[in-house]
Structure 1
């Protein structure tokens, strides 16, 4: 889809000693819905690849929950699942590649999408390590919260509620930080082959410069995650690929390019 550029807002990050900032465009509040519509079209065009990645996204949180249940550490189920969501943008690289191939008029393949992480390998793996460090830090915080739980208290909802509430607040803070860092970082790295600092700063600038549309987009992602949890992770089979494809279209719509994009 080709659209005329809108007026570019002033960069929230005007200069940096560690990387440059690729300018972003001004979004409308309805743009995230448009991204979902384009993402759904990608699902219909690549149903088998969608099912493959969707099953992976559904299997990982199910496995985490199963293993945690075996240990009896129920207080760390939520942190473990949030950790999965922290590394989700990195795992979605294959989905971005599928949408990119469709944009170019190519037939996407599994092997090509798997190789997507090699396109800018050093910086893409660096991005994965960055998310992993955040995940480990969050796990340490979650462990501290778990350690604060008195061992003599019975594990019921009334006793657990304060600790679950504290964990949810801290987890929401980490999730918001990761959203700023990773909203468009992976697509920028894949297509532009820039350094990690430039991709992260570009993502942060785009989110900050388009607060309302990006908050709507964040709410859509959060709702999709909630539906996935409610459905026993089965909803992730469709919802996670949909979010992945839509993110690629969000990147195309948000980050400025020298030439217009054409995706019919």
Structure 2
């Protein structure tokens, strides 16, 4: 006797397939300690080969950095730094998308164009916006923690260094832990969401796993990124014209080197 087909069977099957493709962790490769220098070199090469695209996004990053510097000088207070960085964290990943797209086009032997790179912002935009909001929430949480730690700040002006130690030590430890978490979840998330159009959680899990599996190399890469950002702000934002496009291109090469490629049957 033929079995009656129940629509719930199809529904359960769809749910199982959805679970298999949602919030999964894509495998990663093991890279050497010197790999970050190769990524940086590739970033410099892309910067030279695509001067128009590099200049456009470099100017965007530079303008954002100069805006933060001028805002701090105008307000005369460090309290505006963190809110400004929250905004920077929101726009930064979307600007970097154009750089990833340009490197991707060059990799495939296509002629990279500024217009095509700008269209990358609309590719998998829902996941990318969700990730940008996640970064903003992390930064706001960081600000709240900093506000709580400010209670340890000496109340007496000109207090000795020993009175500052609890504030400096605890603040540095908490800041370091949060910085490591943010770096781990964001190192490869954006290029992964752009190329493979995966959901945000898959991108976050994959990025975290890749960083955890390549800690020595990622420490070097984080140092290079931090150095590039410091150079940018130390030059009142002008250095961002060069450092951010190079680091953006380098991040794409790091992504392709670390995250395993799709296997086609």
TM-score range, shorter chain: 0.7 to 0.9
Find the aligned partners of 1:76 and 1:158 in 2 and give their Cα distance: 27
**2:65 corresponding residue in structure 1:** 61
TM norm structure 2: 0.80
Find out whether 1:116 has 2:120 as its counterpart: yes
CA-to-aligned-CA distance 1:196-218 (integer Å, 9 cap, x gap):
11111110110001111111111
Find out whether 1:177 has 2:207 as its counterpart: no
How many residue pairs get matched? 245
CA drift of 1:61 comes to: 2.3
**1:249 corresponding residue in structure 2:** 253
Gaps of 5+ in 2: 1-19
Gaps of 5+ in 1: 1-15
CA-to-aligned-CA distance 1:226-260 (integer Å, 9 cap, x gap):
22222222111111111100000011111111359
- 1:49 alignment partner, one of 40, 44, 53: 53
Find the aligned partners of 1:163 and 1:231 in 2 and give their Cα distance: 29
- Structure-to-structure mapping, 1:128-139, within 5 angstroms: 128-139=132-143
CA drift of 1:166 comes to: 5.7
CA-to-aligned-CA distance 1:85-129 (integer Å, 9 cap, x gap):
644344311111111111122222222222212111111111111
Cα RMSD (Å): 3.0
Find the aligned partners of 2:248 and 2:30 in 1 and give their Cα distance: 21
CA drift of 1:171 comes to: 3.3
The structure with the larger Rg is 2
Find the aligned partners of 2:237 and 2:162 in 1 and give their Cα distance: 26
Find out whether 1:227 has 2:227 as its counterpart: no
CA drift of 1:59 comes to: 1.7
- 1:31 alignment partner, one of 19, 35, 58: 35
CA-to-aligned-CA distance 1:161-218 (integer Å, 9 cap, x gap):
9767765544333221111000000111001111111111110110001111111111
SS of the equivalent of 1:92 reads helix
* Change beyond 3 A, Cα 1:168–1:73: farther
Q: After superposing the two structures, state which structure 1 stretch, 220-229 or 142-151, moved more.
A: 142-151
Moved over 6 A (4+): 157-162
* Change beyond 3 A, Cα 1:83–1:224: same
**1:197 corresponding residue in structure 2:** 201
Find the aligned partners of 1:168 and 1:81 in 2 and give their Cα distance: 20
**1:106 corresponding residue in structure 2:** 110
CA drift of 1:44 comes to: 1.1
SS of the equivalent of 1:23 reads coil
CA drift of 1:145 comes to: 4.5
TM norm structure 1: 0.80
Find the aligned partners of 1:168 and 1:82 in 2 and give their Cα distance: 18
Find the aligned partners of 1:124 and 1:93 in 2 and give their Cα distance: 10
**1:9 corresponding residue in structure 2:** none
* Change beyond 3 A, Cα 1:222–1:27: same
